[in-house]
């Protein structure tokens, strides 16, 4: 697990011109500094800007061929100062339609957890519009909940009484939408007006303890767009632009 300086947890209100304007992100929660760079810094600082660049159809190159063949937007977070940022900028890719469908005033959360998984969620007033990627690290609202159920950990502990070194190679995700729920390693779900897909549960055998999934409001967001963006967040290229004067941990 990486230290806090490699993570971030931001919130932003979408500006009047979402695709052309610079978005000004802020930390979702205030940070108490401890005088230690590993805990005080964040990957791109406390209040980076976000830019959106449409880059066209997915390239047909080896690094891209297993990813969705869709129109791409390059999302870049740019640090506002060097003081509390590990890198000068950080970029990743989404399907273009995901952010293109946002409106001025929508609230967007972007997080990178200690396992390097990136999650994004968006709200219009209170309803969740969508959540993609490592959704457990972003707010999902009151209706939607995603977690590894306590019963899964209890089942593992029961087995370990006879086989002490045993661990489940993969942990399923409990997905609750209101009064409906399901337990999935992979697959599609549709509950109480939301639909989505789990592409990757938490797979410790591959040293990947981060989910890849999407959930979106029916009629409000395309599950296809959300699914493509989730895959791009989990497995797409990322770019770290370092400060020129010294090396950084990422």
Q: For residue 146, give the nearest of 161, 130, 157 by alpha carbon.
A: 130
- Write down the pLDDT at residue 206: 59
- Write down the pLDDT at residue 249: 41
- Start-to-end Cα distance in the chain: 11
- Write down the pLDDT at residue 79: 97
Rounded to whole angstroms, how far apart are CA atoms 89 and 80?
9
What would the two tokens of residue 223 be? 């599950």
Burial group, residue 97, by CB count within 10 angstroms (0-12, 13-18, 19+): middle
For 115, 166, 184, the CA distances from 205, given in Å and listed in that order, are 15, 12, 17
- Write down the pLDDT at residue 235: 93
Residues 6+ apart with CB under 8 A from 143: 127, 128, 177, 178, 192, 194
Region at 7 (left for phi over 0; alpha for psi -120 to 50; beta for the rest): beta
Beta-bridge partner residues of 74: 53, 93
Q: For residue 75, give the nearest of 30, 112, 128 by alpha carbon.
A: 112
- Write down the pLDDT at residue 247: 40
- Secondary-structure percent of the chain, ordered helix, strand, coil, rounded to 5: 20, 40, 45
Q: Which residues of the chain have pLDDT under 70?
A: 205-208, 245-250
């Amino acid at each position: 697990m990486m230290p806090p300086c490699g993570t971030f947890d931001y919130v932003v209100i979408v500006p009047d011109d979402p695709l052309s304007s610079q978005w000004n992100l802020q930390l979702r929660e205030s940070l108490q500094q401890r005088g230690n760079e590993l805990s005080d810094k964040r990957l791109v600082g406390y209040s980076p800007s976000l830019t959106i660049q449409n880059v066209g159809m997915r390239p047909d190159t080896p690094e891209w061929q297993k990813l969705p063949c869709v129109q791409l937007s390059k999302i870049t977070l740019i640090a506002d100062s060097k003081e509390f940022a590990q890198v000068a900028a950080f970029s990743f890719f989404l399907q273009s339609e995901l952010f293109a469908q946002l409106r001025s005033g929508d609230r967007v959360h972007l997080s990178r957890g200690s396992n390097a998984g990136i999650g994004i969620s968006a709200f219009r007033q209170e309803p969740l519009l969508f959540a993609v990627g490592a959704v457990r690290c972003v707010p999902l609202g009151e209706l939607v909940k995603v977690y590894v159920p306590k019963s899964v950990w209890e089942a593992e502990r029961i087995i370990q009484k006879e086989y002490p070194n045993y661990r489940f190679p993969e942990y399923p995700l409990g997905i609750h939408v209101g009064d409906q729920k399901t337990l999935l390693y992979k697959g599609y779900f549709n509950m109480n007006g939301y639909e989505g897909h789990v592409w990757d549960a938490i797979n410790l055998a591959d040293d990947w303890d981060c989910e890849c999934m999407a959930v979106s409001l029916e009629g409000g967001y395309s599950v296809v767009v959300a699914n493509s963006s989730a895959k791009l967040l989990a497995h797409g290229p990322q770019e770290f632009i370092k400060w020129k004067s010294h090396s950084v941990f990422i």
